[in-house]
Structure 1
Amino acid sequence: MMLETLRRIVQDVSAARDLSTALSLIVRRVRKAMGTDVCSVYLYNPERERYVLMDTLGLNPAAIGRVSLALNQGLVGYVGQREEPVNLDNAPEHPNYLYLRVTGEERYHSFLGVPIIHQRRVLGVLVVQQKAKRRFDEGEEAFLVTIAAQLAAVLAHAIANGSLSLDRAGQRKSVPYNGVSASPGIAIGEAVVVMPPADLDAVPDRQCEDAEAEKALFDQALMAVREDIEALSARLAKRISPQEQLLFEAYLQMLDEAALGGEVHKRIDDGHWAQGALSHVVRRHVKYLEKVEDAYLRERAADIRDLGRRVLAYLQARSDIRQDYPENTILVGEELSPALLGEVPREHLVGLVSVRGSSNSHLAILARAMGIPTVMGLSDLPYKRLESESLVVDGYHGQVICWPDEILSAQYREHMRQDEALTEELEVEARKLCETLDGHRVPLLVNTGLVEDQSRAQALGAEGVGLYRTEVPFMMAERFPGEQEQTRIYREQLVAFAPFPVVMRTLDIGGDKPLPYFPIEERNPALGWRGIRVTLDHPEVFMAQIRAMLRASDGLENLRILLPMVASMHEVDEARKMVMRAHEELQSNEGLKLPMPRIGAMIEVPSMIFQVGALSKRVDFLSVGSNDLTQYLLAVDRDNPRVAGLYNAMHPAVLRALNDLALKARKYQLPVSLCGELAGDPAGALLLMAMGYQGLSMNLSSLPRVKAAIRRVTLAQAKQLLVAVLPCETTQEVEDAVAAFSREHDLEWLIVMRRKA
């Protein structure tokens, strides 16, 4: 019974239309569930640095919004400081008790307060009180703790939405939202909200200029759905019973103007566009029906939702494709797709914001290639309310700022100006050799998967491709690309960069990179069927790809083959056998004269650090995938916004592991390079160079800054930095050492300014 009560409270609060409604629901439902005299919610106000009484049932309503407590004040402040429950049978006797006459709480003796904590932040305190002097029992305390924990994420989202209220001057307040950086850079522009087809929950709020035109569009969609249902009913008339056919009659009744249609018309008259009006009406009906006791009526909720989707699909189909994109368009959506990029004129598209998605998604790869600042994984972003609103996209720190004020906008515009000036300055020296002041050469290569990267990479002085993501052409296709098709794509890359090496990673799908035509559903995809595991299980796919790579390399001799996600020598042995078989077949059956390409293993799984000796007998080189290696070493999903803040390649354990790997590679005379975000961080690049990594591969946009950092130090100085950071025990100590080094060598403008938050 208690579990059902908990579920209903959380469900109702989640569906609340705003913060005020959510808080009112909390105090009413919790007080009733626990049978207490008082229930109150205090929320932390970061601007005032105080806990503010936001709602109560039992205390004086006049105290709402007026009463506030400092962080060390009263029992509420005491709960927040301790970050754990405080359960008292006679609160006025406690030394932290603070009497506030306006609340009228002097009548209540029993006090139970629990903190509301979301992602280590105390959002507020939930309090229940009673007149009787008694200590709340263990079950009551556990219930309130559970309620607070369950409500924390919901309330965090509601607070984020509620904080978008007007300030005292009547202006929107700037609100930052943290996500995952998918493509670096800064963009300031106007939000254009896009939505997936026929998704009622993703329809953004928009006002309409012509209510009659919107009603006409809705009526046309309604008529089309009515005709569809009548046609379906007629087709099935001979195959279903008369009772079952009554379902279609019920559908048609729901579509009647006096029912669903009439409510939508009324909302359009209130100024809402047809799609938004339909979404609101349908979701309100569904919410009501899902809560009724009668099982038959609860089942009708699914029918209402199905009807709503059908009508919405017609509305979306009949809406004209948008042509009037703002000059500085920032596309915003729940999950943006690469196809959307082609709909917006390139000169108008300045930024991308996706509630879902990862830094390894196809969209992220395209965004980096096109130089579009992008942030993903913003779970609290109220994206449906952002149509035509001003946004700042900070792709360096993975942050989106809604309604930036003029001061903040001016600061970001200055950052953009400095960025452009710095880029121009660095590109002047891009064609110069990448070597230290004392002549140590470090080849810089690019990570790529697109033909568009080729000419710009060479203009910036890239000395080859350290990671060619062969999955990108697979992700862009509607089926597995054929062998000839792959040969053509790979040949373009190999020819473009010849005679420089091109390291082609074999198909790396699974995890956060599913193919639309080959979905992989797993409970734990990061540790599941991905990389070499997939292709060894599908030799027909692997062999076609290897043959295509070998054919493409004919006469060029710059192909390198890289095996992803290897975790055992068996996988390496099996993959090598298949490469050698493909090579032999092409030579013997087709007469091609192909040198055997070098084969490398990608070090992403931590266990491989301890098997370098075994690898040295099987492969020609190693390439560290620092992004995955870091997340596996730290047990942090870097694309999960809840824990992304814990992901840091400058963690001491990560740096020591990389250093150990470089030492072992040197011992076994095995060339080792690194591809990943750490190589594209100027400070990370200096540390990797000092460790002995012989090649660094990075996203194209990072190359000028990394080259500038390397050209401004000696190898001996970089080794001094390495000596300083290896003994560090915390990430903060590492970053402090890097900051001190950058100040000493006048590199702050390259290193400190470019570090991720």
Structure 2
Amino acid sequence: MYTFSGVSASPGLVLGPVEMIDHGTTGLHRIVCDPFRERALYDVAVVLAKDELRRLSQRAKGPDADILLFQIALLEDESFTNEIGDYIAAGAGGAAAVERAEQIFAKRLRDVDDEYIRERSVDVCDVCQRVVDILDGRPRRRLHLTRPSILVADRFFPSDLFTIDRRMILGLASDKDSTVSHAAIMARGLGIPSVVQLGDGTAALAVGHRAILDADGSVGRLVIEPDGFQVAQTDCKIAVRRLHGRTPDPVAALPCLTKSGTAFRLLISDNISPNASCGPLMPQGAAGIGILRTESTILNGSSEERQLDLLRTRLRSADGAILAVRTCNPAADDDAPWSAEVQQRLDGRRVSRPQIRALLRAAGEGDLRIMFPRLDGVSAWDDCCREVTACRAQLKSEGIETIVPPMGCIIDRPSAAVMAADLIDHGAQLLAIDIEDLTRYTLGLKDAAEAAPRIAEPAVQRLVRSVLQTAIAHSVTVYLCGITVENYRRLTAYLSMGIHNFCVEPAALLPLKKLLLEAE
């Protein structure tokens, strides 16, 4: 019996056999042709790789689809392509050139101070290995599970999980991934137990054995070949959970009232997927969607009509509940390779006109709100409002009558918090305080992971209190967003302050509700 400790990335307890995802070796039996032929072979491999990724994205949803869109964007990135082309021109083979570019671009991301951006280096490795596999004539290695298993890996690539039946995945255990890796994010979204940062060599040691994956505490454990007592104890815990029926959780049906009788409201955050065919069901206990992120529609080049279809589908699935759409954030993930493409598609504007037109056309079909991010003050707000006015006038000239839905802004930096009264005076009808981003910028934190334990710092609380008081004085609704499984435990301070509306990632919805139900 061996016990390894790591960090819990997604809660749960499972017992089962262990299977390993092996990314294999490259570079065997390569023959290098002349540079012109090598470049032609590389160009064909990129076309095939992008076609594979698009097919995968058609089955993916939300953040999963965004991962694949990023990989496609990387293959189209000019600096990435030039790096490979220059190396091929110098006499290297196409596969070797891709491997070299992988090392360069992945290292750039790993050297960034922000943990979330560092984890995107895995995406670079994933897409580069796909191209190398095509150039080497080697099929992508897919793990075919014949029984539900715990999956282990040194690091998980996003595409490792896309082709596996999710019902066959008991849990995920990783040597090196972090709590903000795509594997961890996907595990939380799917309710799959996950433990990361188990240490080098753990995955290789566990493969082929039976194990217990315990991710219920902050410290997760992987117990390889547990003894009879541990197996019996784990089986009993799992059986009790099934007996009491964790899905749906009975807490979801309880009224949103604290122990002392104060009402609160819970919304969820989500991503819109350009390839979605239907809207997801609203999680039980959610009063609506407080933040619907839309960057993927811009990156994917979704047309106005496609965006309109997606919005109508979302409004139908919301069934009258609020749907607050955050317009494309032109400054999202500044260090990510796709940021330049997003900004290029916006063509210097703060908003995308096809997106605004689609929002205006969909506004009369449900409780739609438009939220503008990254506003420093009234000048930026006025720019957004002028774009809305121009789009509405354009639609009217085409014979399409529209209404302007309630519009608000994301308070994600100190300057916006200080200017809250002015933003309201200029027409903001809704304020969403992104507590994680506001913490980062207020405290000068470079790493996203540093913000979670510090969202209740006095300086942050003072800014939130100022925004809340301003909103109350003007009868404007305000809520906190940017709430994750990493930071929800620190929100009682804001409940006591008078914040009664919270927008959380789905995995944190019921845990936060349980916390607030017990609050005085």
Fold-level similarity (TM above 0.5): yes
Q: Is the aligned partner of 1:633 residue 2:442?
A: yes
Q: Structure 2: how far apart are the matches of 1:387 and 1:702? A: 30
1:29 paired residue number: none
Cα distance, 1:623 vs structure 2:
0.4
Residue 666 (structure 1) aligned with residue 472 (structure 2)? yes
Deviates more, 1:402-411 or 1:624-633: 402-411
State the partner residue of 2:204.
Answer: 385
Q: Which structure has the higher relative contact order (CA within 8 Å, separation 6+)?
A: 2
Residue deviations 1:708-741 (CA, integer Å, cap 9, x gap): 444455xxx3xxxxxxxxxxxxxxxxxxxxxxxx
How big is the shift at 1:465? 0.6
Aligned to 1:559: 368
Please tell me whether residue 542 in structure 1 is matched to residue 328 in structure 2. no
Q: Which residue of 2 aligns with 1:19?
A: none
Does residue 687 of structure 1 match 2:507? Answer: no
Compared CA separation, residues 175 and 439, structure 1 to 2 (3 A):
closer
**Displacement after TM superposition at 1:675 (Å):** 1.4
- Structure-2 residue corresponding to 1:100: none
Report what 2:425 is aligned to: 617
Q: Which residue of 2 aligns with 1:469?
A: 293
1:264-302 CA-partner distances (Å, limit 9, x unpaired): xxxxxxxxxxxxxxxxxxxxxxxxxxxxxxxxxxxxxxx
Corresponding residue number in structure 2 for 1:124: none
Question: In the alignment, what sits opposite 2:406?
Answer: 598
Give, in whole Å, the separation in 2 of the partners of 1:431 and 1:673: 22
The alignment partner of 1:226 has SS state of coil
- Show the 5 A alignment for 1:279-290: none
The question of whether the paired residues in 1 share the 8 Å contact of 2:151 and 2:172 is answered with yes
Q: TM-score, normalised by structure 2?
A: 0.67
Corresponding position of 2:170 = 350
In structure 2, how many angstroms separate the alpha carbons of the residues matched to 1:326 and 1:314?
Answer: 32
Counting matched residue pairs gives: 427
Pick the aligned partner of 2:188 from 365, 368, 374.
368
Structure 1 Cα separation of the partners of residues 318 and 6 of structure 2 = 40
Do 2:377 and 2:423's aligned partners in 1 also have CA atoms closer than 8 Å?
no
Query: Residues 394-433 of structure 1 correspond to what in structure 2 (within 5 A)?
Result: 394=215, 397=218, 399=220, 401=222, 403=224, 405-406=226-227, 424=246, 427-433=249-255
Q: How does 1:185-264 map to 2 (within 5 A)?
A: 185-188=12-15, 190-195=18-23, 222=29, 225-226=30-31
- What one-letter code is carried by the residue in structure 2 that aligns with 1:572? W
Distance 1:510 1:419 in 2: 43
Q: Which runs of 5+ in 2 are unaligned?
A: 41-89, 94-128
Structure showing greater Rg: 1
Distance verdict in 2 for CA 1:313–1:452, change over 3 Å: closer
- Name the SS for the 1:491 alignment partner: helix
Q: Deviations over 1:320-361 (max 9, x none)?
A: 643235522325353521x33331111111334567777667
Give the CA deviation at 1:670: 2.6
Is the 2:481–2:502 contact (alpha carbons within 8 Å) kept by the matching residues of 1? yes
Distance in 1 between residues matched to 2:35 and 2:387, nearest whole Å? 57
Q: Is 2:485–2:507's contact at 8 Å kept on the other side of the alignment?
A: no
- 1:448 lines up with 2:266 in the alignment: no
Q: Check the 8 A contact 2:452/2:486 in 1, yes or no.
A: no
Is the 8 Å Cα contact of residues 679 and 685 (structure 1) preserved in structure 2?
no
Question: Hey, what does 2:150 align to over in structure 1?
Answer: 329
Query: Aligned with 1:590: secondary structure?
Result: coil
SS in 2 for 1:704: helix
Report if the CA contact (8 A) 2:298-2:345 is conserved: no
The Cα shift of 1:681 comes to 6.4
Match of 1:134 in 2: none
CA distance in 2, matches of 1:356, 1:587: 55
Map of 1:255 onto structure 2? none
SS at structure 2 position matched to 1:322: coil
The structure-2 alpha-carbon separation of the partners of 1:357 and 1:313, relative to structure 1 and needing over 3 Å to count, comes to same
Q: Relative to 1, partners in 2 of residues 1:232 and 1:611: Cα closer, same or farther, differing over 3 Å?
A: closer
State the partner residue of 1:434.
256
Change (3 A) 1:556 1:311: closer
Q: TM-score, normalised by structure 1?
A: 0.48
What secondary structure, in the 3-state scheme, does the structure 2 residue paired with 1:480 have? coil
Aligned residue for 2:6? 177
How does 1:82-161 map onto structure 2 within 5 Å?
none
String of CA shifts for 1:20-44, please: whole Å, max 9, x gaps: xxxxxxxxxxxxxxxxxxxxxxxxx
The CA distance in 1 between the partners of 2:147 and 2:298, in whole Å, is: 32
CA deviations on 1:629-688 (whole Å, 9 max, x unpaired) are 223333334556xxx498433444434443343233323433210113269966545433
Deviation at 1:569, TM superposition (A): 2.8
SS in 1 for 2:148: coil
**Could you tell me which residue of structure 1 aligns to residue 312 of structure 2?**
491
The 1:680/1:177 distance shift into structure 2, 3 A limit, reads closer
Query: What amino acid is aligned across from residue 357 of structure 2 in structure 1?
Result: R
For 2:469, what is the secondary structure of its paired residue? helix
Letter in 1 for 2:416: M
Q: Quick one: distance in 2 between partners of 1:359 and 1:372?
A: 13
Letter of the aligned partner of 2:503 in structure 1?
Answer: S
Counterpart secondary structure, 2:268: strand
Q: Cα–Cα, structure 1 residues 474 and 577, in superposed 2: closer, same or farther, change >3 Å?
A: closer
Shift of 1:503: 0.6
Decide whether aligned partners of structure 1 residues 332 and 597 sit closer, same or farther in structure 2, where only a CA change above 3 A counts: farther
Deviation at 1:556, TM superposition (A): 1.8
Displacement of 1:605 in angstroms is 1.1
What is the percentage of aligned positions where both structures have the same residue? 22
Alpha-carbon distance in structure 2 between the residues aligned to 1:453 and 1:432:
28
Out of 292, 301, 304, which is 1:480 matched to?
301
Could you tell me how far apart the structure 2 residues matched to 1:384 and 1:543 are?
A: 48
Could you say which residue in structure 1 is the equivalent of 2:382? Answer: 573
- Counterpart pick for 2:454 among 631, 648, 667: 648
Whether the 8 Å contact between 1:360 and 1:513 is mirrored in structure 2 is: no
For 1:498 and 1:598, how far apart are their aligned partners in 2?
18
Report the secondary structure of 2:188's partner residue.
helix
Aligned-CA RMSD value: 4.4
CA contact (8 A) 1:368 1:699 kept: no
The Cα shift of 1:546 comes to 1.5
8 A contact 1:467–1:502 mirrored in 2: yes
Inter-CA distance 454–702: structure 2 relative to 1 (3 Å threshold): farther
For 1:506 and 1:666, how far apart are their aligned partners in 2? 25
Whether contact under 8 Å (1:186, 1:396) holds in the other structure is: no
Q: Is 2:172–2:194's contact at 8 Å kept on the other side of the alignment?
A: yes
Counterpart amino acid of residue 542 in structure 1: S
Deviation at 1:502, TM superposition (A): 0.3
Which deviates more, 614-623 or 666-675? 666-675
Three-state SS of the structure 2 residue aligned to 1:467 is: strand
Rounded Cα–Cα distance in structure 2 between residues aligned with 1:539 and 1:312: 39
- Is the contact made by 1:681 and 1:702 (CA closer than 8 Å) also made in structure 2? no
- Does the 8 A contact of 2:268 with 2:505 survive in 1? yes
